[in-house]
Structure 1
Amino acid sequence: MSQHQKKPNPDERRDNLKKIQENLNNTLENMQEAEDSMETASEFQEEEIKKKNARRREAVDGMRDELRDEHAHQKRQK
């Protein structure tokens, strides 16, 4: 491997639970802020917020699955 080629980063999982939980919390907070902003939003903005929050709900489901998987992985490593 030449000095200009990068080596892949090792799989660093020690702080995965923390990172996933932070992302989950931020997404839930963003969803709530978006819901709150709908009070003053136009019809178009309200539709866009609903669409975005639907995508966020899907992401939340994925993050929750990821949290469960990572938690199980860490338990197996002990």
Structure 2
Amino acid sequence: MADSVDELHEFAASIRLPARAFHRGARHPHYDVTASQRRYALQHGAIAISARDAVRIGLQTTLPACVIATEPTQFSLFA
């Protein structure tokens, strides 16, 4: 998860996540990452959260429809 869409995109770019990893159209859009991409992200500043925390945070976040349809809001790094 990121504090903003811009922050998420910047971090994804900094760890060279491919654009195809972005899960478009999801209620809480995110990047799908492999185990090795997850490890790399953690080594470069990502903070692991539990799946339960991700759901809790996601439920507390309300996004405008235009953001839900086109922009990522979370970075999946489950502990």
Q: Same fold by TM-score, threshold 0.5 exceeded?
A: no
* Larger RCO, structures 1/2 (Cα 8 Å, 6+ apart): 2
Report the TM-score when normalising by structure 1: 0.22
TM-score under structure 2 normalisation?
0.22
Q: Decide which structure has the larger Cα Rg and report it.
A: 1
